[in-house]
Structure 1
Amino acid sequence: MGGPERSVPGVDTGTTPERADVEQTLTRRGVLRAVTGGAAAVGVVNAAGKTVAAAEGNAPPEVWPMTGGSPSKTGQRGDVTGPKGRHPSLRWSARVTERVLTAPAVVGRTVYTGDRNGIVHAHSAADGEELWRRGVGDWVDASPAVVDGSLFVGTRGGEAVSLSAADGEERWRTTVDGWIRSPLTVADGVVYLGTTAGLVVALDAADGTVQWRFRAGDWVRSSPAVAGDLVVAGSYDGTLYAVDSETGAEEWAFETGSPIHGSAAVAGETAFVGSDDGTVSAVELAGGEERWRASIDGSIRSSPATDGATVYVGSDVGTVHAFAASDGTERWTFKADHWIRTSPVVSDGTVFGATAGGSVFALDAADGRPVWVHATGDRIHASLALAEGAVYVGGLDAFVYAIETAEDDGDVGEPVPVEAEPDGGSEAAPLTLVGTLTGFFSDEKTLTELEFTISALGVVYQMLGS
């Protein structure tokens, strides 16, 4: 069991006195676009991840301010739209300096990512133009959060860094024990993160002051989920911890029996979490009791998503599973081309995901039938973001992609029907499409477009040679 470690004056709260100079590139046009989001004013996002200031007429820009879409980490937002058509196309791709293992944040029509050169990038969501870049000193594997005009990110060197979302100017820097690989969460003026030293840490979003530390039994790579006065985070020790958001005091601990890599998704009074042994657990927030448990083949290295009625989770054997949120009944299973370590996201009845084979896909949330697939240039380990009709994702080819679909794109044919099993589940739905898809692959700074007809997802990768 863990326990809180309160902050000590003068410890881990200041700016690192000596560090290498950081790189910043900012164009005059970039300043204008970062501040205005193009032709419109930036929508201000509060600590709960909700837009509170208007943009472009009366319509505020859609926001995906952190991994999972919000502090609850459900992977869905009712005010955000993903691609709705059936023909995927590349809106843009942007080359960064190294591999991307962070999920994008999208705020004010700007897409924010970090890479393994320790560079944070801001790109226009409309066309991918780089608005600014800022070096933070070490690998950025912890996905950024953008709230109230500030961007928060963590590094391999154990530094939590706050930058101006408008121009990348550094605001504060705080050092904690361990490598920060946990995507950052911001709620009610507090930044929550996990470290490889087994800590969950709460920082004041205004100045980086350590509010409290909670010590788990092993690495905390999952992004802390916030539900009311609870912060919920999983650890490699196989325990899902719930701590008081004000003090860091442990409220309960739920043993899954296997390491927890991903975040818990919190909906209503329940936290949903996956573990390395392929178990999905539904845990009551009030007391930490198990509601139900389901098992799948393969381990779970990603975070579940939920729309409140269904829980969606991917596995490292390349399957996506849908379970009833109420009792864990399996509703359907989809088989992809490669293992999945990205967390699914949900919008308007569609589940979006990505694989280590480099494909981004869309599934019908009702039955798991494939809607479309889009090939990128390399493996994808980072999770997705949604905003204003596009999916945003970074890859190990050092590109950030924006993928959209045509609004009126006709019919690409019907996928193979999913045969239901007697127990209410379903066989894995093969990705079988009839029609023409457009895919892309990257080679250094060249992006090549291919058009091809497929009958199964595996054929795409044979044809692309990956």
Structure 2
Amino acid sequence: MKASGINATGWARSCVLAVSACVLAACTGGGAKPKPVELSPNAALIGVRQAWSLKIGAVNFPLDVKVNGERITLASSDGTLVGLESTGGREIWRAKVSEPLAAGVGSDGKTAAVVTRSNMLIALRDGKELWRQRIPAQVYTAPLVAGERVFVLAADRSVSAFDGATGRKLWAQQRPGDALVLREAGVIRAVGDTLIVGLSGRMVGLNPLSGSVRWEVPIATARGANDVERLIDLVGSVSREGTVVCARAFQVAVGCVDTAKGTLVWSTPSNGVVGVHGNERSVFGVEADGKILAWSRVNGDRQWVSERLKYRAMTAPLAVGRSVAVGDDIGLIHLLSVEDGSPLNRLTTDGSAIAATPVLAGDTLVAVTRNGGVFGFRPE
């Protein structure tokens, strides 16, 4: 398995207008969408096989597939939640909340949390509901479950903390809202004893016990003549190595922050709408036109660019071993070399768009499609 390259170790408030990344891309792109670059024959330079698959409901919200060890927690738009073990795809539990979802899933391996379209935060344990609390704003980012607490980043740029066992509200941090917010997942995660959130184009470090601000670092600064051009939310997945966290500011830049010092390491212009990922050497990202780039983690210098998937709607990338995995809008997972972006293999699912950034659980690469297919791939 080591030779396969699949695994590094073996394989808003109601008055705020929310808009999706795809709508903004259409508004700012101008004209018809260019025809995608034709795919070359599959190289199949590394051995990968489909190990299992299953079905959940359709996925039409910004799903975050949560991995805790070899356990996976995911959900569908209709409110179905499933806990799986990654090796064989066995269901550990399955539950359904009372209404469709707007954000999810957060999980620490014990407690799972989602937010419904009516702004209801719901926590479950082993598939059984623990509690629910109403959030006073729309939520598009999966809750973060960590340290016996549940943290929520809302579209009005409020951050709230709840007791994981009881749902009691512990604190809330509120920032001034902007005229537009993205109807896409933002950034919220724990790094050491600091809660990291994306607020506009800034990465902000909060005290998770009180919500007080420890530091703020701008990755990008709002510019432009209208609200669309000034929209610079931090989006999607991030890349963390030690205390350095790298993230994308929507359509403007990619940058890295030293969260121990609260200082900017580097920032470079980049026109993309999905998050980033990386390894100890590189940060990988997908541009709005489908180009895939690698930047030096040390200083942000460009290492390579691949145009083989240009004009395809791509997920955020996943760095795994010697491969970068990205999903597209026709249900393919492309495995590219971390060294130069050259193709290593191409995996098929059910033909519908990949709905979430692929994840790695143990030795299993997991992809979820818009039609609700869940696929586990393993090294041969």
Q: Which TM-score bucket, shorter chain as reference?
A: 0.5 to 0.7
**Match of 2:341?**
328
Task: Answer whether contact 1:117 1:140 (CA < 8 A) is retained.
Answer: no
**Match of 1:212?**
216
Q: 2:119 matched to 1:105?
A: no
Distance 1:279 1:238 in 2: 15
Distance of aligned partners of 1:208 and 1:225 in 2 relative to their CA distance in 1, 3 Å threshold: farther
Distance 1:270 1:99 in 2: 34
Distance of aligned partners of 1:96 and 1:348 in 2 relative to their CA distance in 1, 3 Å threshold: same
Distance 1:188 1:92 in 2: 31
Aligned match of 2:198 in 194, 199, 204? Answer: 194
What runs of 5+ residues in structure 2 fail to find an aligned partner? Answer: 1-62, 73-84, 223-231
**What TM-score results when the alignment is normalised by the length of structure 1?**
0.56
Distance 2:95 2:310 in 1: 34
- Secondary structure of the residue aligned to 2:251 is coil
**AA aligned opposite 2:338:** A
Say which structure, 1 or 2, has more relative contact order (CA 8 Å, 6+ apart): 2
**AA aligned opposite 1:309:** R
Distance of aligned partners of 1:300 and 1:184 in 2 relative to their CA distance in 1, 3 Å threshold: farther
- What does 1:21-170 align with in structure 2 at a 5 Å threshold? 82-85=85-88, 91-100=93-102, 102-107=103-108, 109-125=110-126, 128-170=127-169
**Match of 2:40?**
none
Aligned match of 2:331 in 287, 300, 318? Answer: 318
Task: Answer whether contact 1:119 1:140 (CA < 8 A) is retained.
Answer: no
Aligned match of 1:292 in 304, 307, 321? Answer: 304
Q: 2:186 matched to 1:182?
A: yes
Distance 2:107 2:236 in 1: 20
Task: Answer whether contact 1:241 1:252 (CA < 8 A) is retained.
Answer: yes
Distance 1:160 1:223 in 2: 18
Alignment: residue pair count: 288
Task: Answer whether contact 1:212 1:248 (CA < 8 A) is retained.
Answer: yes
Deviation at 1:359, TM superposition (A): 2.0
Deviation at 1:213, TM superposition (A): 4.3
Task: Answer whether contact 1:242 1:253 (CA < 8 A) is retained.
Answer: yes
Output the aligned Cα RMSD: 2.8
Aligned match of 1:304 in 300, 305, 317? Answer: 317
- Secondary structure of the residue aligned to 2:353 is coil
**AA aligned opposite 2:306:** A
Deviation at 1:322, TM superposition (A): 0.7
Deviation at 1:163, TM superposition (A): 0.8
Compare CA radii of gyration and give the structure with the larger one.
1
**AA aligned opposite 2:122:** H
Distance 1:140 1:96 in 2: 17
**Match of 2:294?**
282
Task: Answer whether contact 1:310 1:325 (CA < 8 A) is retained.
Answer: yes
Deviation at 1:287, TM superposition (A): 0.8
Distance 1:362 1:245 in 2: 33
- Secondary structure of the residue aligned to 2:234 is coil
Task: Answer whether contact 1:298 1:317 (CA < 8 A) is retained.
Answer: no
**What TM-score results when the alignment is normalised by the length of structure 2?**
0.67
**AA aligned opposite 1:85:** G
Deviation at 1:221, TM superposition (A): 1.9
Distance of aligned partners of 1:77 and 1:305 in 2 relative to their CA distance in 1, 3 Å threshold: farther
* 1:336-393 Cα deviation digits (max 9, x unpaired): 4212241111234322111222222223355xxxxxxxxxxxxxxxxxxxxxxxxxxx
After TM superposition, what 4+ stretches of structure 1 lie above 6 angstroms from structure 2? Answer: none
What runs of 5+ residues in structure 1 fail to find an aligned partner? Answer: 1-65, 70-75, 367-466
Deviation at 1:327, TM superposition (A): 3.0
